[in-house]
Structure formats: structure tokens, C-alpha cells
Amino acid sequence: MKTTPSTVEELLDYWPGHIPFKGSLVNEDGSCMCAQGQVLHFLDKKSVEELRDIKQSDADKRVAEIFGISNAHSALLAIVNDRQDGAPTSVIRNPEQVLGDQSHVVLAFWRHLDQIDDKNRAAAWAAAWAAAGAAAGAAARDAAGDAAWDAAWAAAGASNEIQGAAVMRAKGQAFYFLPLFGFADPEAVMAVV
């Protein structure tokens, strides 16, 4: 194999033997890059200087485009990086190793989030955050901070419900976050894909 990957498949094959840097797209001296940094450098031909100037949200979006995955899946690639065996390759090739046996539903939900227009996404996240804030209390809501965190927290709650659906059903617990995004249950997510 070439030493410098030039396709998605080559990069996925490259990662197991070349564990990416953690913490930022590129380290201070430019010698190490995280998984997303490597994607942008090797496949999108970004220079070290360009990597230093890219906002994380822009990196998430561009990596999602390159891999043909959702923005949340791209963010997961950045989060997991090398924290689990087989990662980051497993995040793309075998997401069930990271997300569990309901990974297909979680990934479908994340793709759905990317399809929601900005106005409806903001409304869904605001409703989810308001409901969660009421349940969690004012102190938790105040500590949480900005709108980006609010949105991520609500989407994470829905993702967790998908992953834990069997446990929730066994305990007779109703879904709380999924309905805020328009889904009665995980099966409803799969009905829209």
C-alpha cells in the first residue's frame, strides 16, 4: 500500500497501523493529525496551515461530505479517534462496535437530523431543550450553556433512547427525546429512511 492514502478505502486501511493524533486537527509542529485532520489533509489536500484555521464544525461537515455520512457520524469519528480497538476505521466500517447493535437506527436518525431544514431543526432542538431543561432543573440548564450544546444534548438523548430502547421497553419507560424530533419510537426512525 502507498504510504500516503489518496482514497477513503486506502485511508480506512491505513488507520489501524497509523493511529491518529488526539485533541485537534493537527498538532503544533504539524507532524501529527487527528482522524479528521488526516481526512482533510490526505483526501481534501488541505495544508497544515489550512488545518490550523478550520473550525471544528466546518471540519465535521467536510469530512461528512467526503465519507458520505452524517455530520454527527463525522463528529463521532473525531470523538472516538483512537479510543477503541479498531478505531477510527471501525467508526466507518463497523459502527456497531462503537454504537451498539442499534447503530443502523442511530445512523438513520443522524442522517434525518442533517435533512431537517434550519428553521425546523432549531424548533425541534428548542422544544427538546425546553423539555429536558424542565426535567433536569434550572441549575442543569444554566450550567449547560450555549445553543450548540443544547442541540447536541437533545440529539444525544434521542440517540441514547434508540440505543437503550429494549431496556426502556422492559422497564415500561416511555420515549422522551425521540418524540421531540417527531418519532414515536426507533421503528419510526427507520420508516422515514
Domain boundary assignment for the chain:
8-95, 103-191
Cell of 134: 424542565
Please identify every stretch of the chain with a pLDDT value under 50, giving residue numbers as ranges: 1, 132-148
Q: What is the structure's pLDDT at 122?
A: 62
Q: What is the structure's pLDDT at 177?
A: 87
SS3 25: coil
Q: Distances in Å between the alpha carbon of 108 and those of 135, 153, 193?
A: 27, 18, 7
* Beta carbons of 37 and 62 less than 8 angstroms apart: no
Query: For helices 147-163 and 103-115, what crossing angle results, to 10°?
Result: 150
- Residues 5 and 12: their CA atoms lie apart, in Å, by 9
The sign of the CA dihedral 7, 12, 14, 19 is positive
Q: What is the structure's pLDDT at 148?
A: 46
Q: What is the structure's pLDDT at 120?
A: 67
* Beta carbons of 64 and 70 less than 8 angstroms apart: yes
β-pair partners for 33: 26
Residue among 78, 58, 155 at smallest CA distance from 116: 155
